[in-house]
């Protein structure tokens, strides 16, 4: 495996990355996110993941659109890669291919995309779009990716699927580099889709055993397709001088949870988790505490001293994770702390293991 990479959630929706009334020093506006991106780039983060949200949910009353903000951040950064999330069904893949190629040109090869099949029914019906059954949403996403790849690589792309038609469509200029394609989802439909068409499989927060099971399943499916897939894991990072300080902040976040918003989110995502044939979609087994961080980030265990968090990240790498994606509470200082205190420790531990002949 190569060196572990780090990504952070861009807080481009209000309310931060936890559904809690505990006061946070985290802004959703452009000026705040410009500061966060520059800090993250300076302290060693490799990627920034911009969320896609159009209607308020889990308390996210205000939202900045992902690829538009990504283009603005590209203009004020130099190295960090920008992953814009997108909902197939709300965007046409040919148009989005043009937008991604433009972002890649602006950023000199730093564009990436996260394909989000969608769990929030109101966003689709609110915009007058059909709400598809769970597995159909993943079939549409797979076609979306197929169209993107055709547009990126062919002089003139043509595609005929159940959801999209492309007829001799050009894309000029092409992207500067191959644009990495990320995708999430816990269901069988999501795993099969990742095995067939995605570069990275994003996983909600989980235990080590839970991650190992997902990685094993997707690797086996990808091998059957003659492909390899890389893995990214979500975790909410609380790094403090002592373990007790970190755990106390976690307790405070949960005790001040916005119960109405958490339960509203839980009701909305039941469609994602329980509507699948295997009943194991995203959030299918999430507790109230898990949903206070709406991508199950507490489960991953990135909570404690810098040394404890770095050790946990090394364990994640050992089971096959390539990118650790983190959310934070007070974004400016917590991004800085994670980059200055945790990332160097992880890199040192990687070097020490390599010198001992341990391959991970």
Task: Tell me the pLDDT tens digit for each residue of 323-350.
Answer: 999 999 999 999 999 999 999 999 999 9
pLDDT: which is higher, 2 or 27: 27
Buried b (16+ CB within 10 A) or exposed e, 97-112: bbbbbbbbbbbeebbb
Residue 238: alpha-carbon gap to chain centroid: 18
pLDDT at residue 132 tops 90: yes
Task: Tell me the pLDDT tens digit for each residue of 280-323.
Answer: 556 667 888 888 998 899 999 999 999 999 999 999 999 999 99
Phi-psi region of 177 (alpha: psi -120 to 50; beta: other; left: phi over 0): beta
User: What does residue 117 show for φ and ψ, rounded to 5 degrees?
Assistant: -70, -20
pLDDT of residue 286: 80
pTM of the shown model: 0.93
Calculate helix-pair angle for 66-74, 30-42, nearest 10 degrees.
60
Task: Tell me the pLDDT tens digit for each residue of 10-31.
Answer: 999 999 999 999 999 999 999 9
pLDDT at residue 95 tops 90: yes
């Amino acid at each position: 495996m190569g060196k572990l990479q780090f990504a952070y959630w861009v807080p481009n929706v209000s309310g931060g990355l936890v559904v809690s009334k505990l006061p946070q020093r985290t802004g959703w506006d452009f000026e705040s996110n410009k500061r966060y991106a520059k800090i993250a780039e300076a302290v060693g983060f490799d990627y920034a993941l911009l969320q896609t949200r159009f209607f308020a949910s889990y308390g996210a009353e205000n939202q900045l659109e992902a690829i538009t903000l990504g283009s603005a951040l590209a203009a004020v950064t130099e190295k960090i890669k920008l992953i814009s999330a997108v909902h197939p069904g709300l965007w046409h893949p040919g148009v989005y291919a043009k937008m991604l190629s433009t972002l890649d040109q602006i950023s000199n090869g730093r564009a990436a995309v996260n394909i989000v099949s969608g769990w929030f029914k109101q966003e689709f019906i609110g915009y007058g779009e059909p709400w598809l059954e769970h597995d159909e949403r993943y079939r549409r996403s797979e076609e979306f990716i197929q169209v993107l790849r055709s547009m990126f690589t062919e002089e003139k792309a043509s595609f005929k699927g159940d959801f999209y038609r492309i007829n001799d469509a050009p894309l000029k200029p092409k992207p500067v580099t191959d644009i990495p394609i990320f995708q999430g989802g816990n269901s069988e439909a999501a795993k099969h889709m990742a095995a067939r068409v995605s570069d990275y499989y994003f996983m909600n927060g989980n235990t080590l055993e839970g991650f190992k099971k997902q990685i094993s399943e997707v690797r086996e499916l990808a091998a059957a397709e003659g492909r390899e897939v890389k893995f990214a894991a979500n975790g909410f990072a609380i790094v403090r001088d002592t373990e007790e300080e970190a755990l106390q902040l976690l307790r405070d976040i949960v005790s001040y949870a916005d119960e109405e918003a958490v339960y509203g989110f839980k009701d909305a995502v039941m469609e994602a988790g329980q509507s699948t044939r295997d009943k194991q979609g995203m959030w299918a087994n999430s507790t109230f505490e898990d949903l206070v961080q709406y991508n199950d980030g507490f489960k991953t265990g990135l909570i404690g001293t810098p040394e404890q968090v770095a050790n946990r990240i090394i364990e994640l790498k050992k089971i096959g994770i390539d990118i650790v994606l983190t959310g934070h509470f007070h974004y400016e200082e917590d991004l800085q702390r994670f980059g200055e205190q945790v990332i160097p420790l992880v890199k040192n531990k990687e070097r020490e293991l390599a010198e001992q002949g341990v391959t991970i």
